[in-house]
Amino acid sequence: MKKWVYSLLALLFIGVAFFDTEIMAAQDEIAIRTVVEETYLLSDDYVTPLASLAPRAIVILHNVHAGWAHIEYKGQQGYVPSVTLKSAQPTLMLATAKNPPIVRETTEGQTKHLGNVPIDSIVQAYATNEDNWYFVQYGHLTGYIIATALKAPTSQKMLVQKQEGLVVRNIASKSGANLTSIPTNTKVDVYTNIQGWAYVVTEKNIQGYVLANGLKEIPIPKLGKYSQGTVTKTKRIALTFDDGPHPTVTAQVLKTLEKYDAKATFFVTGHRVNKSPKVLKEIYEAGHEIGNHTWSHPKLTTVSFEQAKAQINETNKTVESIIGQEPTLFRPPYGAYNKEILGSLSVPLIMWSVDTLDWQHRTPSKTLKAVQTGAYNGSIILMHDIHQTTADALDSILSYLTKQGYEFVTVSELITPIK
């Protein structure tokens, strides 16, 4: 491509840039972006090409001004039109090589070594346009790591037990930068434990390394049948929604729950999850609990045991493929089960103590009345997030229960004894 073409490109973007007055403030966090369309890394004159950037190439963004992004790519700094970049979404990966994986400046054989990440540490990994390579971030160290040195981690639910909370750092060391802190009694997902440090992620997506001795395991509910939870001095209640997810009704339910900072449990059916996977992910990412309600909602006592297990297992697999974990509870359709089904479960079987009959009368005022009449400390309320009338009733229900002093928790929280 001739030099005048680059000049024309530069003038075009400078012209457009008068409408773009964004100037990025200096940040402690490293801004990592991905290239969305083929472009060129240009020198300070905005004309001379330094490198060709393919879609999905990963770059470090320094700032944006007048329509131009000042970036770093494989050790070179230059400029690209800001419209060719977008935010890059990382994946948590575990360093599993025999020796601490090398972080490289490029993917070339004789490239500069920038440092190493400790074995069993968690890194933020970004998929690139180059096979078998990840662009990673560990604290302030960034660069390329060969894909075979990383693997997807598993997680464990734990609770912050330190009264003063825990300081979150960007690396597994007291010398790491202090990112923020996590209050006591916060639930976290723990992805690794390395030399006394745990990498944690909270429901609000606070993540980083904390001292592992500040965490404790969350008691696992005893398996069995539950129709109500533990009664405590703090009035707690569990709202449950069956038969979804529904593409529009569930979305409205989620918005109302968020308005009241309420957590709930959704007993989903596999066939609806298959149709609305994004809605299931929204439920999970909002911090609600996912329960299994079979694949197609049959009365399990009228089918063979093998068919009943298939209904449960297929739903488990589908849910796990979307959110990364299986449902933590099971509720049988119509409340119908037998000892054989109960004995085969690896999670608690959950019934209910307040049936709103919302599926039958389809009247918001009657759904509210059922809650007002039946709700008590430790109760599990049954509703369905496939009926618009239920979504319409929810705001009044949450308003009433809030005024009565109730805290809205998931079923697992309700049935777990508090020590």
Q: What is the pLDDT of residues 322-334, one digit of tens each?
A: 999 999 999 999 9
HEC sequence for 215-276: EEECCCCCCCEECECCCCCCCEEEEEEECCCCCCHHHHHHHHHHHCCCCCEEEECHHHHHHC
Q: Which of 198, 217, 236 is the last residue of a domain?
A: 217
Residue pointed to by tokens 């963004």: 61
The confidence band for 20, taking pLDDT boundaries of 50, 70 and 90, is: very low
Helix (H, G, I), strand (E, B) or coil at 132: coil
Q: What is the pLDDT of residues 215-230, one digit of tens each?
A: 998 876 778 999 999 8
Q: Which of 126, 151, 176 is the last residue of a domain?
A: 151
At residue 222, the pLDDT reads 77
DSSP 2-28: -HHHHHHHHHHHHHHHTT----PPP-S
Report helix angle 364-374 to 388-403, nearest 10.
40
d(CA 40, CA 58): 13
Q: What is the pLDDT of residues 293-316, one digit of tens each?
A: 999 999 999 999 999 999 999 999
Between these two residues, 404 and 418, which has the higher pLDDT value? 404
Q: Give me the residues paired with residue 239 across strands.
A: 381
Beta 102-104 vs 113-116: how paired, if at all?
antiparallel
At residue 218, the pLDDT reads 81
Q: Please name the residues in contact with 220: beta carbons below 8 A apart, sequence gap of 6 or more.
A: 416
At residue 28, the pLDDT reads 40
242 is catalytic: yes
Question: What CATH number is given to the structural domain containing 28?
Answer: 2.30.30.40
Q: What is the pLDDT of residues 63-82, one digit of tens each?
A: 999 999 999 999 999 999 99
187 and 203 Cβ atoms separated by less than 8 Å: yes
Is residue 182 predicted with pLDDT exceeding 50?
yes
137 and 30 Cβ atoms separated by less than 8 Å: yes
* Cα separations in angstroms, 156 against 138, 199, 356: 21, 11, 35
63 and 21 Cβ atoms separated by less than 8 Å: no
Pair 364, 399 in one domain: yes
Catalytic option among 246, 288, 293, 384: 384
Pair 389, 258 in one domain: yes
Pair 268, 309 in one domain: yes
Pair 161, 179 in one domain: yes
Instruction: State the average pLDDT over residues 187-192.
Output: 94
At residue 30, the pLDDT reads 87
For residue 210, the enclosing domain spans: 156-217
The confidence band for 22, taking pLDDT boundaries of 50, 70 and 90, is: very low
Pair 273, 401 in one domain: yes
Pair 199, 269 in one domain: no
Q: Please name the residues in contact with 395: beta carbons below 8 A apart, sequence gap of 6 or more.
A: 256, 259
Percent of the chain, pLDDT > 90?
A: 85
Q: Which of 87, 117, 140 is the last residue of a domain?
A: 87
* Cα separations in angstroms, 36 against 33, 76, 133, 280, 342: 9, 19, 18, 28, 51
Helix (H, G, I), strand (E, B) or coil at 154: coil
At residue 370, the pLDDT reads 97
At residue 221, the pLDDT reads 72
274 and 251 Cβ atoms separated by less than 8 Å: no
Pair 67, 110 in one domain: no
Least-confidence region, from 57-66, 80-89, 227-236: 227-236
On the question of a cis peptide bond just before residue 245, with omega within 30 degrees of 0, the verdict is: yes
Pair 235, 293 in one domain: yes
* DSSP code of residue 97: S
257 and 233 Cβ atoms separated by less than 8 Å: no
384 is catalytic: yes
At residue 141, the pLDDT reads 96
Catalytic option among 189, 242, 243, 392: 242
Q: What is the pLDDT of residues 345-368, one digit of tens each?
A: 999 999 999 999 999 999 999 999
The confidence band for 19, taking pLDDT boundaries of 50, 70 and 90, is: very low
The confidence band for 255, taking pLDDT boundaries of 50, 70 and 90, is: very high
DSSP 118-130: -TT-EEEEEE-SS
Question: Domain tally for the chain?
Answer: 4
Instruction: State the average pLDDT over residues 139-148.
Output: 96
Pair 243, 360 in one domain: yes
Pair 206, 189 in one domain: yes
At residue 418, the pLDDT reads 59
Please classify residue 48 by burial: count the beta carbons closer than 10 Å to its beta carbon, then call 0-12 exposed, 13-18 middle and 19+ buried: middle
Pair 325, 194 in one domain: no
Is residue 208 predicted with pLDDT exceeding 50?
yes
368 and 393 Cβ atoms separated by less than 8 Å: yes
Instruction: State the average pLDDT over residues 272-294.
Output: 97
At residue 230, the pLDDT reads 85
Instruction: State the average pLDDT over residues 164-180.
Output: 95
Between these two residues, 17 and 126, which has the higher pLDDT value? 126
Pair 282, 371 in one domain: yes
At residue 278, the pLDDT reads 97
b/e per residue, 342-354, with b = 16+ CB within 10 A?
eeebebbbbbbbb
d(CA 231, CA 314): 34
